[in-house]
Chains A and B, each alone.
Chain A
């Protein structure tokens, strides 16, 4: 919604719990009309953010999922030469007009749209190391020219661009300078309770405590190569609920480990912990001062 100051304001939606700093970051990007670069551990809701920003602002959303082979130009437009060649051979379609064979990519469609839109550029670090540099001008000026026709596609309304990165590659400075940046911190237990509540409402409070104690304890284990994340926690709770496990059963061991740990070495490491006679924490106070403020 546009507020009295004339810029859009994001507040979070019923399906997405956004922390205060994140809300401020989104609003900052909206007001400055700069792309918002989001980093954070996998499973902290980076990708989901875009659809919820779109929902909250009532804007349509376009996604561009980046792969290792994605080129910057793919996002703008593709000139389908083979189709044109084919049409010219079989006399179908209007071959004389090159415009019929120019298909706008996600970035192009957002620019050409008549209203302000949300564009998600997902996992920008997957692409080639030079990829972000290829988009500098387009993201800056929000316009580009189709070389084949000489037509210019310019954004009538600067889209809200949300870019996510998993930190696989460093992004170029020139690119970073054009963005505003937010790092999604891993949610603390209080916020995690709210997040769980969105997905599994009316969960028994004692059970939830047990679940979170085990979850945060697991995350503290340094031997683990991949720490379980929020999305894994949600899956795990779903599994626990299906099987009807009680909080007493949870106190002494961790069932359905496969939902939390996705990697053989990690499961082995934890099994080793059990065999060595290590005890799992059953109370928040077992977790150390960080969780008992």
Chain B
């Protein structure tokens, strides 16, 4: 049953590893769950779940695994027998806890249930438990001298009810990829230079100068290091790109807000870049920005990062008036604009959310790959794209 919980959580996508599991076993050993399933629920959640976004999954799994445990804790013959003949379980030391399999066997579960059952029993005046287990894994003795009935008394809300209420449904996120790792990758998007006001004490220089000055202190200051990267993000929005919009833009905006970049600009397009792009993702007429203006305003030192699936009807890319949106026709074909972009900026990269193996099947992706180094929108892909933008210079793809 315990293992059901463990594997159930893993199946539900909750990242539970041995370390979390050990914490729970250790907590049970210390008797933290007392003798109520609700407190066991609290303790298990505290130990196993590390983000409120998984609380809902935890509730579901917990409710499934422990369904029927609560309230049906009549002492079975088997358990009675066990109580009469308590086998000697060795004390659970931290070393033994490494033996996960052993500890999470049904035996432990049974003993857990028995401690719960014991509370019921004690209510009726029994006291058999006392004296049998000098070292119960649940640290039972004396902890709850009054005995709290398991489940469904007015004082305690029942664990099952709490779990089934699924309070935390709103906190779920189903974003599948690892935002944190990508942010770590994006942090490398920097080119540190010293510029601006000298406000940082240069210790080595200070000591050198002080010595040269015969011990008279000479403080030397230098400007702090600052990121010198200017990033232009061009993002395909709408249609198939919708699921990627939120995570990517928040990723880069957050990066900028952490003062990671010297300058940051985001513009949006649909399917392909034509003679206007948009400064907001809603792409209304009021926020149009001529692509030509953009190129005039930003010099070649800006890094261009395009995020899009690059898959479209060939006519949208190659032909004049190819824009899929009839309100925004453009005499210049999209491919010409892409050419201009790739020629204008020294460093460019294209992130594609589609699987790389699909790329060769799309004619337009093949064409665009000739202009921009293309990477998969994944942790590794982002790292490679960052390298293409700020890493050691390599010959530009023909």
Asked if B19 contacts A39 (CB within 8 A), the reply is no
B51 within 8 A of A: yes
Residues of B within 8 A of A182 (CB): 46
Question: Chain B 51-67, CB within 8 Å of chain A: the 1/0 string?
Answer: 11001000000000000
Interface residue? B183 (CB, 8 A):
yes
CB distance from B17 to the nearest CB of A (A): 6
B379 nearest CB across to chain A (Å): 13
Q: A31-B27, A32-B27, A129-B180 are in contact. Are A177 and B50 (CB under 8 A)?
A: yes
Contact present for A177 and B17 (CB under 8 Å): yes
Contact of B143 among A5, A37, A170, A179 (CB under 8 A): A5
Beta-carbon contact of B180 and A172 below 8 Å: yes
B288 within 8 A of A: no
Most buried by B among A32, A82, A177, A179: A32
Q: Is the CB of B30 within 8 A of A7?
A: yes
Binary flags per residue of B203-224, CB closer than 8 Å to A gives 1, else 0: 1001100100001110000000
Flag if A28 contacts B32 (CB, 8 Å).
Answer: yes
Chain A residues positioned under 8 Å from B38 (CB to CB): 20
Q: Mark B1-36, 1 if CB is under 8 A from A, else 0.
A: 000000000000001010110010011001110000
| Beta-carbon contact of A31 and B32 below 8 Å | yes
Q: For A68, list chain B residues within 8 Å (CB).
A: 258
With an 8 Å Cβ cutoff, the count of chain B residues facing the other chain is: 44
> How far is the CB of B259 from the nearest CB of chain A, in Å?
8
Interface size on A, residues (CB 8 A): 39
CA distance A182 to B52 in the complex (A): 8
Cα–Cα, bound, A5→B34 (Å)? 12
Distance in angstroms between the alpha carbons of A61 and B217 in the assembled complex:
39
Q: How far is the CA of A148 from the CA of B178 in the complex (A)?
A: 38
Judging by beta carbons under 8 Å apart, are A183 and B55 in contact? yes
B55 x A28 contact (CB < 8 A): no
Please indicate the chain A residues that have their CB under 8 angstroms from the CB of B19 in the complex: 177-178
B295 within 8 A of A: no
Which residues of chain B have C-beta atoms less than 8 A from A28's C-beta? 27, 32, 42-43, 46-47
A27 an interface residue at 8 Å Cβ cutoff? yes
Residue of A nearest to B52 (CB): A183
**Bound complex: CA of A4 vs CA of B145, how far in Å?**
12
Q: Which residue of chain A lies nearest to B38 when distances are taken between CB atoms in the complex? A: A20
Output the nearest chain A residue to B47 by Cβ-Cβ distance.
A180
Given A5-B31, A24-B42, A129-B180, 4 extra CB contacts under 8 A = A29-B46, A68-B258, A130-B187, A183-B51
The 3 closest A-B pairs by CB, nearest first: A170-B180, A24-B42, A183-B52
